[in-house]
Chains A and B, each alone.
Chain A
Amino acid sequence: MHEVSKWRCLTAAALALLLNMGSANAKPAGGNELRLATTTSTEASGLLGVLLPRFERDSGIKVRVVSVGTGQALKLGERGDVDIVLVHSRSDEDRFMAQGFGSLRRDVMYNDFIIVGPKDDPAGIRGQQNAASALKMIADKQKKFVSRGDDSGTHKKELALWRDVGMTPKGGWYIEAGQGMGEVLTMAGNLRAYTLSDRGTFLAYRGRVGLDVVVSEVPGLFNPYGIMPVNPARHPHVKHALAMKLADWIVSPAGQEAIRSHKVDRQSLFIPGAPPK
Chain B
Amino acid sequence: MELSAAIAEAFRLLFSFDAGLWNIIGVSMKVSLTALLIATPPAVALGFFLATVPFRGRRLCVIVLQSFLSFPTVVVGLVLYVLLARSGPLGELGLLYTPEAMIAGQALIAFPVLAAFTLAAVQGVDRIVRETALSLGASRWRASLTTLFEVRFAVMAGVFNGFGRVISEVGCAMMVGGNIAGLTRSIPTAISLETAKGEFAQGIALGFVLIVLALGINALLNYFQGEGGMK
Chain A interface residues toward B at CB < 8 A: 22, 68-69, 71-72, 75-76, 149-151, 175-179, 183, 187, 189-192
Chain A's nearest CB lies how many Å from the CB of B88?
9
Q: List 30 A-B contacts (CB under 8 A).
A: A22-B200, A68-B196, A69-B196, A71-B198, A75-B198, A76-B198, A150-B193, A150-B196, A151-B199, A175-B97, A175-B180, A175-B181, A176-B180, A176-B182, A177-B179, A177-B180, A178-B179, A178-B180, A178-B189, A178-B190, A178-B193, A179-B174, A187-B97, A187-B178, A190-B85, A190-B86, A190-B97, A191-B96, A191-B97, A192-B86
Chain B's nearest CB lies how many Å from the CB of A81?
10
Q: Assess the B181–A176 pair: CB atoms within 8 A.
A: yes
Chain B interface residues toward A at CB < 8 A: 3, 85-86, 96-97, 174, 178-183, 185, 189-190, 193, 196-200
What DSSP secondary structure best describes chain B's contact surface?
Answer: loop
Chain B residue with the shortest CB-CB distance to A75: B198
- A21-B146 Cα distance, complex, nearest whole Å: 50
The contact of A190 among B96, B180, B182, B197, by CB within 8 Å, is B96
Given known A150-B193, A190-B86, A190-B96, contact A179–B200 (CB-CB < 8 A): no
18 other A-B residue contacts (CB within 8 Å) besides A178-B180, A190-B97: A68-B196, A71-B197, A72-B196, A72-B197, A149-B181, A150-B193, A151-B198, A175-B183, A176-B180, A176-B181, A177-B179, A178-B179, A178-B190, A178-B193, A179-B178, A190-B85, A190-B86, A191-B97
- A68-B199 Cα distance, complex, nearest whole Å: 13
The interface residues of chain A lying within 8 Å CB-to-CB of B182 are: 176
The interface residues of chain A lying within 8 Å CB-to-CB of B198 are: 68, 71-72, 75-76, 151
Chain B's nearest CB lies how many Å from the CB of A21?
10
Chain B residue with the shortest CB-CB distance to A68: B196
What DSSP secondary structure best describes chain A's contact surface?
Answer: mixed
The interface residues of chain A lying within 8 Å CB-to-CB of B200 are: 22
Chain B's nearest CB lies how many Å from the CB of A96?
13
The interface residues of chain A lying within 8 Å CB-to-CB of B86 are: 189-190, 192
- A150-B193 Cα distance, complex, nearest whole Å: 7
- A151-B3 Cα distance, complex, nearest whole Å: 20
- A72-B193 Cα distance, complex, nearest whole Å: 11
Instruction: For the complex of A and B, list the 8 residue pairs with the smallest distance between their C-beta atoms, beginning with the closest.
Output: A176-B181, A72-B198, A75-B198, A151-B197, A178-B193, A178-B179, A190-B86, A175-B180
The interface residues of chain A lying within 8 Å CB-to-CB of B3 are: 22
Chain A's nearest CB lies how many Å from the CB of B104?
16
- A19-B200 Cα distance, complex, nearest whole Å: 15
- A176-B189 Cα distance, complex, nearest whole Å: 13
Residue in A72, A149, A178 whose Cβ sees the most chain B Cβ within 10 Å: A178
- A150-B86 Cα distance, complex, nearest whole Å: 24
Chain A's nearest CB lies how many Å from the CB of B40?
30
The interface residues of chain B lying within 8 Å CB-to-CB of A190 are: 85-86, 96-97
- A68-B182 Cα distance, complex, nearest whole Å: 23
